[in-house]
Amino acid sequence: MNVFSSDKLEQFLPKVKTILEENLFPLEQAYLHQSFSAVEPELNKVRGLIKEQDLWNPHLSEHHGGLGFNLVEFGQISELLGRSPYGHYCFNCNAPDIGNQELLLGYASEHIKSLFLEPLLKGDIRSCFAMTEPEFAGSNPVNMGTTAVKRGDHYIINGRKWFTTSADGASFAIVMANTNPGAENKYQRASMLVVPTTTKGFHLKRNISIMGEPNDTYFSHAELEFKDCKVPAKNLIGNEGDGFLLAQQRLGPGRIHHCMRWIGICERSFDLMCSRAATRDLGNGTMLGSKQTIQNWIAECRAEIDASRYMVLHTAQKIDEVGTKAARLEISTIKFYVANVLMKVLDRAIQVHGALGITDDTILSFYYRHERGARIYDGPDEVHKSTLARQILKNYGLNTNR
């Protein structure tokens, strides 16, 4: 009956669910109160288990040693993994590595692939992606100050990046920099380069403290500085000037991944909210869930989570069938719609928990802090709404600039 299901998926999901329940949820209190690096050894044991069970790399084609799910199927896996903050990490399909894998698989030379992609697919190393800069509005990737100047068969990179997720401990970064800052076509100014983090001139200045927490390693967001950072010209991904195009390529499926992960967080929070509502005694045996306000919230959350899932999976299906570019408007739509549903569900789940909801005795406050960025990263709501509306208005004869 579920048009988005498949036998293969039905067989895979229960295995993931078992890992979550038996191996990941039990670690939750540990990582709610400790840094990532403190919990990393335990998580790596789980990764080993997943490899043993041949569940590793569910996002890759069979050809690349993965499980050959299409985006509709992987979206549903991603939703399930989203129920734990480290679900994707354990299955090696976590941002930013998954996006980097896709880039390298699609556009890197064999040389680069063997050096950087292979250990990444095995989970032996981690990577990061350096695009956003503090001085430029991140919503517009053609505004960028970092440059990569070609000198002989090298590029010399200079500039400043921030919100470079997972840079701390990563083996390499994919860096977006202007190779041709004066190009008339502003979409052809930038290029992408693989930069090993051990390169001279690559400086991790700080793990940015976000919502009270700098955290570390995989779970960190760095500010980077490039000072005459020199990399071989063959570290280029695709051709010179492809940077913007590659960024767009990277973001399409990336937004499906995020949206489905957010839906997973919604379901997790919804489950906690309902459990609490059903069992919290207000005194004299009346349960919180008998209050109509709580019922309203549960009903509205249910409706909006379901609406989210339908929209995202139909979008994933369109990408599977006709590609990312054709689904551009749907991708903008789900980006802002689902991010806002996520905020609402989290807020209400917390309110239903009362004081408990703001403590770290449940995972809700973790999500509340860590997911506020969902309405900002990969394009804030406002930009996606304008993009969508301006495209619609073109059909009515109106061309507006942003």
Tell me the window of 92-100, 110-118, 188-196, 356-364 that interacts with a second copy (CB under 8 A).
356-364
**Nearer Cβ to a second copy, position 66 or 141?**
141
For residue 168, the minimal CB distance to a second copy (Å) is: 16
User: What's at 192, amino acid-wise?
Assistant: M
Cβ 30 vs Cβ 42: under 8 Å: yes
For residue 332, the minimal CB distance to a second copy (Å) is: 8
- Residues that bind a second copy (rule: CB under 8 A) add up to a total of 96
Q: Among 210, 233, 238, 328, which residue interacts with a second copy (rule: CB under 8 A)? A: 210
| Distance (Å, whole) CA 96 – CA 76 | 19
399 half-sphere exposure, CB direction, 13 A CA radius: 0
| Distance (Å, whole) CA 66 – CA 4 | 20
**Nearer Cβ to a second copy, position 264 or 289?**
289
| Residue 192 to residues 92, 108, 173, 257, Cα–Cα distance (Å) | 23, 10, 10, 22
**Nearer Cβ to a second copy, position 102 or 304?**
304
Tell me the window of 122-130, 175-183, 239-247, 353-361 that interacts with a second copy (CB under 8 A).
353-361
**Nearer Cβ to a second copy, position 4 or 25?**
4
Q: Among 33, 45, 151, 227, which residue interacts with a second copy (rule: CB under 8 A)? A: 33
Q: Considering the rule CB under 8 A, would residue 19 count as an interface residue with a second copy?
A: no
| Distance (Å, whole) CA 145 – CA 161 | 9
Copy the structure tokens of residue 137.
């509005």
Q: Among 18, 61, 140, 239, which residue interacts with a second copy (rule: CB under 8 A)? A: 140
Cβ 97 vs Cβ 126: under 8 Å: yes
Q: Considering the rule CB under 8 A, would residue 366 count as an interface residue with a second copy?
A: yes
Q: Considering the rule CB under 8 A, would residue 30 count as an interface residue with a second copy?
A: no
Cβ 139 vs Cβ 247: under 8 Å: no
Q: Among 27, 336, 342, 345, which residue interacts with a second copy (rule: CB under 8 A)? A: 336
User: Looking only at residues 161 through 200 of this chain, which bind a second copy when binding is defined by CB under 8 A?
Assistant: 162-163
Q: Considering the rule CB under 8 A, would residue 6 count as an interface residue with a second copy?
A: no
Q: Which of 144, 243, 232 is nearest to 190 (CA)?
A: 243
Q: Which of 49, 80, 92 is nearest to 271 (CA)?
A: 80
Residues 6+ apart with CB under 8 A from 272: 349, 353, 362, 363, 364
Nearest 10 degrees: Cα torsion 29, 35, 37, 40: 10
User: Looking only at residues 57 through 86 of this chain, which bind a second copy when binding is defined by CB under 8 A?
Assistant: none
For residue 220, the minimal CB distance to a second copy (Å) is: 12
Residues 6+ apart with CB under 8 A from 263: 79, 82, 305, 308, 309, 312, 338, 342
User: Looking only at residues 313 through 332 of this chain, which bind a second copy when binding is defined by CB under 8 A?
Assistant: 314, 317-318, 321-322, 332
| Distance (Å, whole) CA 369 – CA 147 | 33
User: Looking only at residues 216 through 275 of this chain, which bind a second copy when binding is defined by CB under 8 A?
Assistant: 274-275
User: Looking only at residues 95 through 134 of this chain, which bind a second copy when binding is defined by CB under 8 A?
Assistant: 132, 134
**Nearer Cβ to a second copy, position 128 or 311?**
311
User: What's at 17, amino acid-wise?
Assistant: K
User: Looking only at residues 283 through 302 of this chain, which bind a second copy when binding is defined by CB under 8 A?
Assistant: 283, 287-300, 302
Copy the structure tokens of residue 377.
């990263």
Q: Respond yes or no on whether the N-terminal peptide bond of residue 14 is cis (omega within 30° of 0).
A: no
Burial class (CB in 10 A: 0-12, 13-18, 19+), 3: exposed
User: Looking only at residues 367 through 386 of this chain, which bind a second copy when binding is defined by CB under 8 A?
Assistant: 368-369, 372-373, 375-377, 380-382, 384-386
For residue 203, the minimal CB distance to a second copy (Å) is: 18
User: Looking only at residues 36 through 55 of this chain, which bind a second copy when binding is defined by CB under 8 A?
Assistant: none
Torsions phi, psi for 333 (to 5 deg): -60, -50
**Nearer Cβ to a second copy, position 38 or 303?**
303
For residue 119, the minimal CB distance to a second copy (Å) is: 30
Q: Among 24, 108, 260, 350, which residue interacts with a second copy (rule: CB under 8 A)? A: 350
Q: Among 9, 32, 49, 125, which residue interacts with a second copy (rule: CB under 8 A)? A: 32
**Nearer Cβ to a second copy, position 53 or 296?**
296
